[in-house]
Structure 1
Amino acid sequence: MAAGGLSLYKGSDLIHDYSCSTCEENDLNAEAQHFCTQCEHYLCDKCVGIHGDYFKKHVVYGRKDIQKWAGFSMDRCAQHGNKLDVHCDDHQELCCSICVALNHRICSSISHLPDLARGFLETAEFKQLPAVVDKMRSRLDELKNVRTKDQDYFIDSYKNIIAEVKALRKNINTILDQLERKTVEQLDRMMKDLEKSIKDDLETCAQMDHQLKTMLEKLQQITGKNKETSSYIGYIKCQSKLSEATCFVQEIRQNDGMKFKSDESVVPFLRNLKNLGDIKQVQVYKTQSSAQYSIKIKEDNDVCDIVGICELPGGEVVIADLANYRVKLLNKTYRVTYHYNLPDVILHLCHITDNDVAVAVGTEVHFLTLTRGKLQAVRKFTTKDDSWSVAHHQGQLFVSTYNAINLYTIKGKFVKKIYEIYCDNFQVIRCAVCIDGERIYVTQPDGSKLITLDKTGQVISTLEDADLTDSIGLCVSPSGHVFVCGWESGTVLQVDQEGRQKLATTARKADGVCQPRSVWFSEQNSTLLVGNESDTITVLKLC
């Protein structure tokens, strides 16, 4: 290298990590020892002095601050700081002379940049660049906003989990305190009994000792003509008292006091716990794109009202049209390929297994199956009241009425009432069951809320949100993702599996959602299908 920034003609074989920009312009080769951030120029020891005379306020960094040299320069090599001269066609890289010398000597095609750039300013590719950059910047801004909201959400989630952990710890402490208190109470009772027993024994000992002493003294003091008889009587009484004392002494010796034997399962159980519970990262979905698909057919007399929607294993979609008393079959491109007419108002439907669906029709539940591209009736059973929704879980059907949820077998036998609200107006509109059957989700439009029940029908959480006005349709995916519709608000929300918190407002009216009545999440292609009170369904691609 050129010591002290000594300038040599460019024909020199010396290769520097950074070359002086000013010398390079004068066809000289000198190693840069300084960098000016304002000019984006590399400077040797000679040129830095001249530069300082002209630009006294510019900040110049030396070799000690070389980490600050990495600025952005259009025509400079980011790695070596030299001017970019050529393009390696093999690696599709812009190169300076040092890049070529070190990394591209054996490359077969290297083009001179002025030759490649000739006429480029007039190309459509270059003219469209500002628009492409602006579009990407807009997407980056959107992503920043989304991630900022995600950051806030994760902070809230972190705080909530910490609160739950502390609450669990407090609950465990309460349980341990109760166990300790009960154990100590047992010990206190035993101690009290033992203290009384010891006190009684001490009194008995003193009494027997006094009696034996007195009896012996009186026995030894016997005189007179009946001495022998009286002595015999005294002897017998004394022996009786000795026998009583002997038994008492033996009983006292058999008492070993108190011992404590801990429950051997408690400590190993606690030691085997890795933590107080599992922490899972919740997958939150957002709308990437949306599209509308017509589901109206020529036989329809009224505007469609899609109150139920589900997907079959083959990708076909089945929808329930309340207004036209029809169940419609859609193919994978969401085109109606078949319809099945029913005799009464269809209020809901759900997927059972394979290609079978259950349809809530008035006071009946009908079963349909897909066979050779057509929906065919299999059987039906009668319910106690109008069936407002139907959900399936492991051979059982949860059928909701206007104010209750009843459990039926798949054959139609009534099992029991799960949940009931005493009221004069309609309350229970839709219900869905999570994959493990531990939670039942219920929408109640009058309160614009989502209620979550345990499997016995006890309320475990209630969610109310401004984006959930007149809640109606809902679904639970096989992986446990929960989505619920707000009919009046024109929204679809994703909530957590416990039904306690809104994770995101996944879709709004701007996404084409129009008075949503039903929803289905397809995990096959991360697509949300929304049934509207209109002649279209909204298909949302999620990310």
Structure 2
Amino acid sequence: MATASEDLTASDEVQENEATLSDDLNCPLCMKIFWSPRRLPCLHSFCHDCLQSHIYSIASMQDFVKKLCCPLCGNVAFTGEVSADKLVRLFPLNTLMLSVLMGQQVKTDLVCNACQAQNILSPAENLCAVCEEALCVQCSKMHGISRLSTNHTILKIEDLPRKQQTVLQNNEMFRCTKHGSLPVEYYCKDHETPLCAKCFVDDHARCPEVIKLANKTPDLSEALNQMKAQMKILEDQLKQFAANNVLNLRKLESDVNNLTTEIRTLKKIINDALDDLETRVKEEGNKIFNDEKKRIEQTNQRCQSHVTAIRNSNVVLESASKYATQNQTFLLIKKITNQYFMSKRHNDDMFSKNDIVTLQLEVNKQLTSVINIPRGEIGMLRMKKNDEIPVVPDGFKPLKECIAECVDVKDIKGSKDKAPWYTKVIFTSNEHLLLVDYENKMLYLLDSLCNIVFSHTFLRKPFDVCIVSKHGEDIAAVSLPITKSVHLFSLKDNSITFVKQIQTKYMCYGIAAYNLEELIVSGPCGDDMRYYWSIITLDGKEKSYHEFAGAGTNQTYVALNAFKSRLYISVWKDDSLHCFGLNGTKHFTFTHIDLKGPQGVSIDRDDNVYVVGCRSQNIFQLSPGGLLIRIIVNEIEKYPRGICFDKNGDKFVISHGLRGPGFYRLVLKKG
């Protein structure tokens, strides 16, 4: 039995939910409850009159409008040429929104739309469920007499909360848009459109995939729940995206404050010169912060608008699950699915164009000779932009207080002419392992107990391996630096079968799967101080090529993050880890006094980066941006090399150079 306090809490939650929903039913332009909402292609809705006023404002003195953009997101809603007074009616009424308004018993003073068009204010007493127009008593009679609207359902406004099911049944989406009041009876899968009987006979009789809705009797509850789940995921992504923007804004503000503090420290030595620099940095930093704040607020407002649209769709889906027929549910899902994918495309575009702005201070190294340096050259503020903000799962917290525990290390006893040198080990899709023995020119396929299932011998030394899963089959790609090539193998039926060889431009050490058809390879490019990475297809065609500075010519390993947006390359010779965008932009270079001979690189499910120090015999964990670091394993024996996380992201395997696979798991630190 619930206590009084529990009842009060539940009541408070209901009131809070109702208040939130009421806010979602406000027009973004007039900030009042929607009336006769019109929906743009970007899924944003506005009151009929508000949208009409906006159209008139952009039309100015011209009679025709050639282009209309959404007042909220700026996406193009119309191109062509139409008179300003007719354009608003080209956008459909948001029937879903109206159903929500009815179900929530929104209290507002309504006026007759027909009279209002003639500058007459008459109280509305009825509503046409098809036209979704408010009507006074006299206009209701005329509406029923007109031949075009004689079959329309007229509802009393006071009865709307009780008539929600009737409105759903008479909703325009269940009637033919081409032939007036004829009901929808068919659905053409070839053209993805609902049909009345006349449409079917006239235009779609020869279409092979036409179903009669009366015969469409399967239970659609699973499809309904699936659609709601997809909408929930999209809503969560938008909320997380907006939250990330707020966090990044705080970080940007922190950057400004930290740089100011740094400058104040330098002022103790050269007060007069740094006074000028502090003023400039503060002004420039605040200008950047304010500009970025304005941009992020606008972006988050768009996110909130999309979240509102999703919530409204979910309310209608819930209503459909209670009141709608199977045919109505089928059409409703089809319509919301189209809206979902349209919204997802807008969101993907918004996500891809969102940049993270950070600030850093560049100080002239000749600061000790500041007297001889013009004040304008002492230092400057630079603004850096990253190419994306990844959408990360809820609860994402980089660098949790954890360490890695060694579970087991397996000694692999293969047919060896020399002592082994295991350079890489990875998981296959069925939890088997692939192990590369560089010294003995071997590739081993191991089962989950590390027994050798199959082996392959090379003519030249292999170095790295990755998996490309195509059509349910694992394809292993193995790099051979000396021959400047990549060998592809099928792992079907627990065997290693050669498929083909791909040539690379230079020596290829590190290798990673980019997608089902492309690989990323890296290594030295011939110059003693240069390294390269490139994207190549499985047919050997080079899609892109990039170079970067390094020290000497030696081994590299490469890894991609989960979003396929950042590339990490380790360079043995200069003890460094480099991070790039896929467009070639360099994000950062990581070095550390305790990282010696960096080798294998891998990414966990939270997008954190792990790099193996072979000579330092440890493993470093870095946050995605490289700002936070932690050593999670120390004193690893037998020269660790490659590293690979499993598909769940909570355990990993490393290749002990002289022994075999070593299995580790991440555990939270106690205390």
Return the TM-score normalized by structure 2: 0.40
Larger radius of gyration: 1
